[in-house]
Structure 1
Amino acid sequence: MDTDSAKPHVAILASPGMGHIIPLFEFAHHLVTEHNIQVTFLVITTESTHAQNNYLKSSNSHPDLHVVDLPPADMSGLITDDMDIVTRISVLVEESVGPLRTVLSTLNVLKALIIDIFCTSMFDVCKDLSIPVYSFFTASTVLFMFSLYLPVLDQEVEGEFVDLPGPVNVPGCNPIRTQDLLGQVRNRKVNEYKWYLLHVRRLSMARGIFLNTWDDLEPVSLKALKHEPFFLNNSTPPVYPIGPLTKQIEPVVTEYDNRIIAWLDKQPKDSVLFVALGSGGTLTSEQFTELAWGLELSQQRFILSVRKPNDYSSSSFFSTGSESDDPKAYLPNGFVERTNGVGLIAASWAPQVAVLSHPSTGAFYCGWNLTVESLKHGVPIIGWPMYAEQRMNATMLSNEEGVAIKMPAVGDRGETLLVGREEIERVVRMVMEGEEGKRIRSRAKELEVSGRAALCCGGPSYETLARVTESWKHHG
């Protein structure tokens, strides 16, 4: 591959799923445009989704950003439909990275390989090739801190973490309620837990770890990293908060996207609730019906980005962007007609960043990448935790940062609760009309300002990344 020898060259490998592909690809774009780095972006094509393929094709236009597809692996007999997300991703990665040793050795001198949390098998490969490995942790710092502490918990706690008499106390951090623990650690006997523990144990092998956050968003956790003896004395690699890195505003080119933006143009400022549940977000049929009724009863303007309901909350993770069903088939009878003019139905995939950056958008549902996108544009959040670490996120964003109101979707034992239409109506009205809504909107606008400042030359996120890229330029 032809390279400009004056520019340091790094490679980036993301595990499957839009929640990993998007932040790492935007990081790659940020490196080439802001820091004069050349990047080879390695793509695991095994079981890739339409959304992933379309995103990578439409987003890459920089001559210093090269996309290299890895050949798909034969997964016959290795993957089952009922396999949990972390197990499935881990097996996909393990089977797909076989050619990487050859690919990496043929690239011009690499200053680093940057991986996400589920690609830790690359530590062994890169050790043999003398390539430094950095990790990009795509979730919140709250989860990151818990993950660093998990090997200690694994040794010290005998039973299940969810049965502890009190919250989990990660040094220097706010206590984590047992009902907010992510699904991957709720049953220590299954493969899902074993895979997650394996990956987080390997974090200490990284040369450094990038976080998609900034000081004003998660001050408590980031302060603990800098000052708590546990993290200072426990071989924790250097940690680099470099956020908020989000998708650029996509050009609105399709008739479908134009229709959404044209509709938003007609709505008053801060008046539209954008309901999008993330790349892995689906609701059960019963819960989806209650959501639709709650939106209708609230009489608030909304854009509903819908996916076919499913009784497994993470089921859409590997099928994002592939649905072509008519939303009327699973919305309540007459819903589309009754909400015409007040609401807009966007089947499966909406131009998220364009919607979030529009002045009419007033509130948003969340996973971590969408949370960062939302706050970068000053949009307050309704937290509806469904899978992975979303429960931790929703509690932190509502209780600590004051930018969200949390749907009561989790019971005292961590069970998923059905949220009724009256409760949904109440929360939506609270955010869009009430004093609480004004307060969280004001806080979201503050974080919008500080997030943009963090990324500007001279800002903490920009300068943090600049120090790393300078070290690549001079030392490797």
Structure 2
Amino acid sequence: METKITHIAVVTIPAFSHQASIVEFCKRLVHFHHNFHVTCIFTTIDSPPQATITFLQSLPPNIDYIFLPPINKQDLPKDVPLAVQIQHAVSKSLLSFHHALKSLCSSNNPLVALISDPFANETLEIAKEFNLLPYIYFPPSAMTLSLFLHLPTLHEEVSCEYKDHKGAIHIPGCLPIHGNDLPEHLDDRSSLSYELFLERSKRFSLAYGFLVNSFSAIEGERVSTLVEIGNKPVYLVGPVIQTGAIIEPKESDCMMWLENQTPKSVLYVSFGSGGTLSEEQVNELAFGLESSGQKFLWVFRAPNVSANALYLGASNDDPLQFLPDGFLERTKGQGLVVANWAPQTQILSHKSIGGFLTHCGWNSTLESIVLGVPMITWPLFAEQKMNAVLLTKGLKVALRPKFNDNGTAERKEIAEVIKELMLGEEGNEISQRIEELKYAAVAALKEDGSSTRALSQFISDIENFLRQQV
């Protein structure tokens, strides 16, 4: 008897970190459940990034993909945050998304469910039109999902700006958090960013359930609270991280450099797939790395006044020209600076790496946990400050430097935090704790692990729903 194939679609946004996470989730889904076929639908701005095209070349045969007609970046609002531009791009893509969904639903193997990125959850309204079971795949933490689900209530409970709220803000199931550590979209309640964030949060009620890129050892206690807030099933299916190398590690200069370093001696410094620092902060970080005396591998981009300026397009500038005069010569035996990009998972898994100075993007955070690398948190935007709170106050696997009133971490502070992580007693305790989480992450992904069971429960819930419809 021929096995019936269950066809689902996923839709994501024009941001590589979100695309990589949801595609890796799909790969894991079809690996454990061979009767599922997935079609990934990508909204795009200008054209698909080369990183995405390369990443998609290694898909298994039961995953297809569609690029919707690109939205011209010139047609998006100017001088607004990146998240607002992405939201407008998704809105402008809804008509072509509708056509794509209609085509897939009328195929020989019609769709039964749609899984949406949280920043594309307008598509869930279209899913209802085609009687598709609607889900949200949530790439960040369960703590951040708590914020999304609770925000409509928080909006009513707190009348002032969150950063001006006296004391900590309490979000159900979360660590107490100060308003300054909420996503920057919430900084100004009169802004378009806030309005869109609030609207998006209210649309979470359209979802039948939530698939979250986290695992029980770090956030399992939040699930029951999340279910109570949203009155929907929550599946912790992570850690979902990028596993495929875009280039062969042996071809990378930085991997060859790491081969010549002693175990756990190198601090890896990277701000994700597009994060940038101001020119002043670049100088302070450079001098802090140098004066720490510790080995470092720094993935360096040209400075920019906007922390996420490069997520929708690369700079043509040679970044190394923006380093302080003489820095490369003075640190030649101490560190290596790599322009723009490096194979992160291969670097973090190398025996020479002893620490990770990170922007706290959730993909990078999970990679560091899975590979057992202690962290220095340097959040830039989005929910990254919340992640920093979770890592430092909750899980206690990271240190966080202090920033002055101008929002700059000074060189002396940077050097001291680096030395504490790499050489200090607190750094040693952090190393022990993150080693325990590393093994917990591996256990969660085993065939009988908590995340694999959660994925199976998600599949069972879909199949039970379909049986009830017959």
The TM-score normalised by the length of structure 2 is 0.93
Residue matched to 1:285: 279
Structure 1: gaps spanning 5 or more residues: 226-230
* 1:261-319 Cα shifts (integer Å, max 9, x gaps): 11111211111111111124110000011111111111111110011110111212212
**In 1, Cα distance between the equivalents of 2:38 and 2:404?**
41
Residue matched to 2:88: 91
Structure 2: gaps spanning 5 or more residues: none
**In 1, Cα distance between the equivalents of 2:59 and 2:404?**
43
CA contact (8 A) 2:263 2:352 kept: yes
Residue matched to 1:398: 392
Letter in 2 for 1:264: L
1:67-146 → structure 2 map (5 Å cutoff) = 67-74=65-72, 76-80=74-78, 82-107=79-104, 108-146=109-147
* 1:412-463 Cα shifts (integer Å, max 9, x gaps): xxxx621111111111111111111111111111111000100111100001
1:61-460 → structure 2 map (5 Å cutoff) = 61-74=59-72, 76-80=74-78, 82-107=79-104, 108-225=109-226, 232=228, 234-250=229-245, 252-253=247-248, 257-319=251-313, 322-364=314-356, 365=358, 366-409=360-403, 417-460=407-450
Residue matched to 2:52: 53
CA contact (8 A) 1:356 1:374 kept: yes
Secondary structure of 2:19's partner? helix
TM-superposed deviation, 1:112: 1.2
Secondary structure of 1:457's partner? coil
CA contact (8 A) 1:294 1:420 kept: yes
TM-superposed deviation, 1:61: 3.2
**In 2, Cα distance between the equivalents of 1:185 and 1:160?**
8
**In 1, Cα distance between the equivalents of 2:379 and 2:354?**
19
Q: Percent identity?
A: 34
TM-superposed deviation, 1:165: 1.5
**In 2, Cα distance between the equivalents of 1:267 and 1:43?**
41
Q: 1:461 to 1:410 in 2, by over 3 A?
A: farther
CA contact (8 A) 1:378 1:445 kept: yes
Aligned length: 458
Q: 1:127 to 1:5 in 2, by over 3 A?
A: farther
Q: 1:303 to 1:146 in 2, by over 3 A?
A: same
**In 2, Cα distance between the equivalents of 1:190 and 1:261?**
44
Q: Could you say what the CA RMSD is over the residues aligned between the two structures, in angstroms? A: 1.9
Residue matched to 1:461: 451
Residue matched to 1:228: none
Name the structure, 1 or 2, with higher relative contact order (CA <8 Å, separation 6+): 1
Letter in 2 for 1:374: S
CA contact (8 A) 1:21 1:52 kept: no
* 1:10-53 Cα shifts (integer Å, max 9, x gaps): 11111111221111111111112232221111111223463543
CA contact (8 A) 1:7 1:473 kept: no
CA contact (8 A) 1:10 1:111 kept: yes
